[in-house]
Amino acid sequence: MRIDVVTIFPEYLEPLNVSLVGKARARGQLDVRVHDLREWTHDRHHTVDDTPYGGGPGMVMKPEPWGEALDSVLESGPRGGEDGPVLIVPTPSGRPFSQRLAVELAAKPWLVFTPARYEGIDRRVIEEYGGRLDVREVSIGDYVLAGGEAPVLVMVEAIARLLPGVLGNAESHRDDSFAPGTMAGLLEGPVYTKPPEWRGRGIPEVLLSGHHGRIARWRRDQALARTSANRPDLIESCDPEALDKHDRAT
């Protein structure tokens, strides 16, 4: 997969050199290219923002640098169709990012992210590219950040770990919280490792039993209890078919 990021803070994306994403890049599983938006400005001050039409607080990112930057990045790869890019515009006004969207985007060959600062990007940029390619305005949650760079780090990590061969164990994401399937989109329950006793605290007996059926049942009960406590909304919205009889009785 190829990922391009256009930003006024390329250094903010340095963490993409570290850990899981960094290793995927080093192995050639992920081609990440970070671009400085100011390279596509032409004035002495490399201006990327201006005051909003209609008044109001804050500044708006000018359309011209974004247009030139995106034209340049988009020219460097396949135009459209199956191989074409998905343009992801991080904004608190976007559609919510989710595991489902991460799975969808992980199947695409090319993602282009446009993290903005200030009050966002002149609307005409989104209209311009929305007319030619798959453009998604995406938010990572119901709070406001100073810019879209941290959301890009979040989204790229969520997507990269789903790429084939990136996680050591292909089964690692089968039981992820929010994963459909065995856990029915429930949150993951608690986990334990050695030592068998720590500060007087032991391990739940069932995990030492070697009884796979009972362990699976226990894990599912724990997942359901944790989801009820922390995310009752996930139980409300879940497919009743995904909860078995035992779950509903709990």
Of all residues in this chain, which one has the CB nearest to ligand 6GU in the complex? 90
Residue 119 annotated among the catalytic residues of the structure:
yes
Write the DSSP symbol of residue 126. H
**Which amino acid is located at 248 in the chain?**
R
Interaction of residue 49 with ligand 6GU, rule CB under 6 A = no
Residue 161 annotated among the catalytic residues of the structure:
yes
Nearer to ligand 6GU, 37 or 184 (CB): 37
Nearer to ligand 6GU, 87 or 224 (CB): 87
Stretch that binds ligand 6GU, among 98-106, 147-155, 184-192, 210-218 (CB under 6 A): 147-155
Interaction of residue 65 with ligand 6GU, rule CB under 6 A = no
Question: Which of 36, 23, 16 has the alpha carbon at shortest distance from 166?
Answer: 23
Interaction of residue 92 with ligand 6GU, rule CB under 6 A = yes
Query: Residue 232 contacts by C-beta under 8 Å, 6 or more apart in sequence?
Result: none
Interaction of residue 148 with ligand 6GU, rule CB under 6 A = yes
Residue 221 annotated among the catalytic residues of the structure:
no
Whole-angstrom distance, CA of residue 210 vs CA of residue 218:
12
C-alpha angle 215/219/222, rounded to 5°?
140
Residue 68 annotated among the catalytic residues of the structure:
no
User: Are residues 176 and 188 in contact, defined by beta-carbon separation less than 8 angstroms?
Assistant: yes
Q: What are phi and psi of 142, to 5 degrees?
A: -90, 70
Contact footprint for ligand 6GU (CB under 6 A): 90-92, 139-141, 143-145, 147-148, 151
Active site residues: 92, 119, 161, 176
